[in-house]
Amino acid sequence: MIRFEQVSKTYPGGHQALQKISFHIEAGEMAFLTGHSGAGKSTLLKLISIMERPSVGHVFINGHDLSAIGPRKVPYVRRDIGMIFQNHRLLKENSVFDNVALPLVIEGYGLKEIRKRVHTALDKVGLLDKERYYPHMLSGGEQQRVGIARAVVNTPPILLADEPTGNLDPKLSLDIMRLFEDFNSVGTSVLIATHDLGLIARMKYRTLTLKKGRMAEDGLTDNGHGEL
Ligand code: ADP
Ligand code: ADP
């Protein structure tokens, strides 16, 4: 589903953010991506969502070699990817409904289909009763769940999250992780970048560890107790 082959990324100015990264995340897999600040986590996610391009090597999504696709094909590949951000990036002036509907509006869906899909997505994150609220009326955890609903509203096979629990307390963070597990349990591939090692230790998933742009470790974190 996501494959990196000897990928390096050098930013203009010469900073090498990633060096010779290779890994494969299969369809339906859930994994963490960790490492210190500056290790290259965001860069790696940006290469998957085609916000950045590799300097060397290849990134494949769903069999498509991203270095071979032209600008006009980018939106089609991006459709397969739901992105979740630390600060959720909701539009303040828009209702919950409209925030979640946005990706479908951009894709030109009809209103009836939009309503159906938005309601399904809000139901999944437990916010069906708040569709008319505005972001400032919601708690931090609820705002993050709206961001997740928006990311899954067009049912992409891949979910990417960049520090999704960065602003949340441990209890809410675990709730968000359970939500990712729910999507993973119905076949969605999930890759979560986080430096929250405590959170990772409480779950039992493959963990890719970046150190100064290199893949330092790729394996299962096991705290010996399994899940909580
Ligand atoms: P992380 O997400 O693990 O904190 P990043 O991928 O954001 O790491 O950054 C990796 C390295 O690349 C850092 O040293 C950062 O300063 C550098 N970097 C990130 N984005 C850019 C950019 N647009 N231009 C130049 N350097 C960048
Ligand atoms: P009513 O206001 O009587 O519920 P609407 O046609 O306004 O009828 O809404 C129909 C459904 O669409 C409701 O579930 C409503 O909550 C939902 N909805 C909310 N906001 C919007 C929006 N901006 N665009 C479309 N539908 C919306």
DSSP class per residue in 127-144: -GGGTT--GGGS-HHHHH
Q: Which of 7, 15, 33 to mutate to test the pocket of ligand 1 (most atoms within 8 A of CB)?
A: 15
pLDDT of residue 203: 87
pLDDT of residue 219: 87
| CA 108 to ligand 1 centroid distance, Å | 34
The Cβ-side half-sphere exposure at 5, using a 13 Å CA radius, reads 11
| CA 192 to ligand 1 centroid distance, Å | 17
pLDDT of residue 221: 60
> Of ligand 1's atoms, which has the minimum distance to the CA of residue 162?
2
pLDDT of residue 227: 41
Which residues, judged by CB distance below 6 Å to any ligand atom, belong to the binding site of ligand 2?
A: 95, 97-98, 111, 115, 131
| CA 38 to ligand 1 centroid distance, Å | 6
| CA 109 to ligand 2 centroid distance, Å | 15
Interface confidence (ipTM) of the complex: 0.67
Which residues is 8 bridged to in the sheet? 56
> Residues 26, 83, 139, 34: is their CA dihedral positive or negative?
positive
- What does the alpha-carbon distance between residue 51 and residue 132 come to, in Å, rounded to a whole number? 31
> Residues 31, 34, 38, 39: is their CA dihedral positive or negative?
negative
> Of ligand 1's atoms, which has the minimum distance to the CA of residue 45?
6
Q: What is the pTM of this model?
A: 0.85
For residue range 57-72, what is the model confidence (pLDDT) as tens digits?
999 999 899 988 888 9
Q: Check if 68 has its Cβ closer than 6 Å to any atom of ligand 1.
A: no
Of the bound ligands, which one is closest to the alpha carbon of residue 131?
A: 2
Q: If we measure between CA atoms, which residue out of 227, 224, 197, 225 comes closest to residue 35? A: 197
- What does the alpha-carbon distance between residue 161 and residue 82 come to, in Å, rounded to a whole number? 8
Which of the residues in the chain have pLDDT under 50?
Answer: 223-228
The Cβ-side half-sphere exposure at 145, using a 13 Å CA radius, reads 23
The residue type at 36: H
215: left (phi over 0), alpha (psi -120 to 50) or beta: beta
pLDDT of residue 167: 82
pLDDT of residue 121: 96
> Of ligand 2's atoms, which has the minimum distance to the CA of residue 111?
25
For tokens 């369809």, the residue is 27
pLDDT of residue 228: 37
Both tokens of 50, joined, read 């085609």
